[in-house]
Amino acid sequence: MTDSPGRKLSYVQAFTEAVRLEMADDPTVICAGEDIGFFGGVFQSYAGLQTEFGVDRVVDTPISEQAIVGLGLGAAVNGMRPIVDIMFMDFMAVALDQIINQAAKIKYMFGGAATVPLTITTGGGAGMSAAAQHSQSLEALLCHIPGLKVVYPSNPLDMKGLMASCIRDDNPTVMVKHKRLLGMKAEVPEERYYTPLGEARVIRPGNDVTVVAWGKMTNDALAAADTLARDGIECEVIDPRTLQPFDIGTVVESVRRTNRAVVVHEAVRFGGLGGEIASQIQENAFDYLDAPVARLGAPFSPVPFSPDLEAAYIPSQERIVEEVRSVMARPLLGG
Amino acid sequence: MTRPLSDDDLRAMMTHMIGARVSSQRAFNLQRQGRAGTNAPIDGSEAIVVGAARALDPTADWVLPQYREPVALQRFGPEVLESYVRYILGDPDGGHIPEPVRVWPPQISLATQVPHAVGMAWGMKRTGETGCALVFLGDGSTSEGDFYEAANFAGVLRAPVIFVVVNNGWAISTPVASQTAAKNFAAKSHAFGFPGTTVDGTDILAVYEVVSEARERAVSGAGPTLIEAVTYRLAPHTTADDPTRYMPDDELVAARGRDPLTRFQKELSGRGLWSDDDTTRAEADADAVMEAAIQAAEADRANPIELFDHVHAIRTTRLERQRREWIDHYGEDPR
């Protein structure tokens, strides 16, 4: 009998387990970051790892983001497989020279001689009333840089498999954890497994409209899909899981069936990944579209501190429902 | 050249220290009640901020706080606290401290205010103003590149700036020993070519003395000073922290025995300048001031439409259009 209820882990526990299993298997996997050692990280992402693997493999660093990423890069080039943590995604801005000009380009600049199996982990997203400098979704900025891989799981099962793949990947990868998903629980297998980077997942099948969303927005899109299903609108919800490289094939295949698409992200709409995805959809499925591809994102403003303003700012389930309805309601040209 | 403190000065300093702690504790409780966002208690740093403020000239000098200090800057005007309360309640206008108050709003990103302070001081020197800029930062912030680069600039430019490193022993969970191998933070000034000194940050009179001397140096054109003020963090890092997980109990108990408020109360009582009744009155007065600030802030909650007000100096076409869409969606004033 294999249908006994599976073990459940939270999103953040799934992250920790992926790190723990890789560390146990491979002594070159080391971790460094602010507050990750003794304290286990401000989000408890690294809880228990210093106790298990020692202070030499799980290192509390000074508050020096640029040096944290550079340290990881140097160690990676020298044969280690480091994981470095940037507490909040916003703080990546402090380390962008090391991320954009160094980690992403070292292999290229060394003519292929250097390999950077570095994983940068960080907490992204809004909804904690953490204000403008602790709440941003900056994934588009990272995806714009050739050389980086960017991963953004929406649930515990994917988290474990994707984090394991990030650690094993020979490129610099950025693993974004959405702060509002840390406590989300789901069944997660105890054994090691690897979810391939660059493969989207159809998380809910449907024939009427394709909804592409990642991170916390995947979950909001699923809830919106439930609401819409009661009115007979069947959404196909796709979670790209990896944003760079982006699996456009799965999205295009879906849109060719549904003929309509909505891209949802928490990041600011202007210049967000939604524009890139919408553009690729129309390049690959123009003749199949019955409506323009819709994009839902945050307004062109910093993330507000006020809970009221923040709630209005972040794309909500209700706004996803509205956006899908408006795409569905659009009359066929000439129809 | 230190200005002697009058009895009124001394009593005002005591009043401000008590006011700072009362305001800070109320702010903490407001967060717990869901009425305010994340905030950082001042407990343990009152003597440093109040003592430094007393040594400055509020009509000539600028203060650039990190995030704990605003509650203790009463000397610069009641507007500092009023704005701070609006700020932690989420009102975007809370960052707007009205003229002529020479205090910057709280800075949440670590050490980023340090180059700003050097820039302000340099600007004052350029325009011939006889004042200085004083910047507060924490022990952890000294690990950021912003601190080193700015301090180096200050030395080169002989900027009239005072760096006050509040060494409270902890950067969230990271103790000073994991932050630097230097024997103290004052020693770092040698590399920048200007003097540094360590002072007991629980002794408000000692703080007043060293900041007065530093100000004299600054306004006389002798350049910057680095002051390390040593104390102990008597409260959580912020409302989002749980120090019982990492802070040794015996250290905290010992530090409570060196509480800067108790120390100064004893000093003033010994001089016949302060009584227990004065403490009771100061606490009640501070509570009333805080209550009035909270009520004023809660009576004027942020309107979602304000989201677009300060993104640019003048709203762009896109912002204007988004604002109109929001008004269509939420109404002119959905509060």
Q: Looking at residues B162-178, what average pLDDT do you find?
A: 97
Residue B252's identity, in one-letter code, is L
pLDDT by residue (tens digit) across A231-263? 999 999 999 999 999 999 999 999 999 999 999
pLDDT at B89 over 70: yes
Which residues of chain A have a CB within 8 Å of the CB of B144? 63-65, 94
Confidence of residue A307 (pLDDT cuts 50, 70, 90): confident
Question: What angle is formed at CA A216 by the lines to CA A227 and CA A283, rounded to 5 degrees?
Answer: 80
CA B47 to the chain's CA centroid: 11
Give me the interface pTM, i.e. the ipTM.
0.90
Domains of chain B: 7-302 (3.40.50.970), 303-335 (no CATH)
**Looking at chain A, which residue has its C-alpha nearest residue B180?**
A62
Does A42 touch chain B if contact means CB atoms closer than 8 Å?
yes
pLDDT at B2 over 90: no
Domains of chain A: 8-187 (3.40.50.970), 201-327 (3.40.50.920)
Residue A331: partners with Cβ closer than 8 Å, 6 or more residues away? none
For residue A257, with 0-12 CB atoms within 10 Å meaning exposed, 13-18 middle and 19 or more buried, which class applies? middle
- What the block records as the tokens of A220 is 């909001």
CA B315 to the chain's CA centroid: 32
- CA neighbours within 13 Å on the CB side: how many for A156? 21
pTM for this model (two decimals): 0.94
Q: Looking at residues B183-203, what average pLDDT do you find?
A: 98
For residue B283, with 0-12 CB atoms within 10 Å meaning exposed, 13-18 middle and 19 or more buried, which class applies? middle
**Chain B interface, mutation test: which of A305, A308, A313, A319, most B Cβ atoms within 10 Å?**
A305
Report the candidate in A65, A214, A217, A70 with the shortest Cα–Cα distance to residue A150: A214
Instruction: Point out the residues of A that are catalytic.
Output: 65, 134
Looking up tokens 């609108």 gives A233
Among A155-164, B54-63, B151-160, B318-327, where is mean pLDDT lowest? B318-327
The pLDDT, as a whole number, for residue A335 is 39
Would you mind telling me the total number of residues written for chain A in this entry?
335
The pLDDT, as a whole number, for residue A334 is 44
The pLDDT, as a whole number, for residue A170 is 98
pLDDT by residue (tens digit) across B295-309? 999 998 888 888 898
Q: Beta-carbon neighbour count of residue B200 at 10 Å?
A: 18
Q: Looking at residues B47-58, what average pLDDT do you find?
A: 98
Q: Beta-carbon neighbour count of residue B257 at 10 Å?
A: 9
Q: Which of residues 79-108 of A touch B (CB under 8 A)?
A: 90-91, 94
Which residues of chain A have a CB within 8 Å of the CB of B335? 308
Q: Looking at residues A112-121, what average pLDDT do you find?
A: 97
**Looking at chain B, which residue has its C-alpha nearest residue A95?**
B145
pLDDT by residue (tens digit) across B116-126? 999 999 999 99
pLDDT, averaged across chain B: 96
In this structure, are residues A220 and A264 in contact, taking their beta carbons and an 8 Å threshold?
Answer: yes
In the 8-state DSSP scheme, what is residue A89? Answer: G
The pLDDT, as a whole number, for residue A38 is 96
**Looking at chain A, which residue has its C-alpha nearest residue B243?**
A39
Percent of chain B residues topping a pLDDT of 90: 91
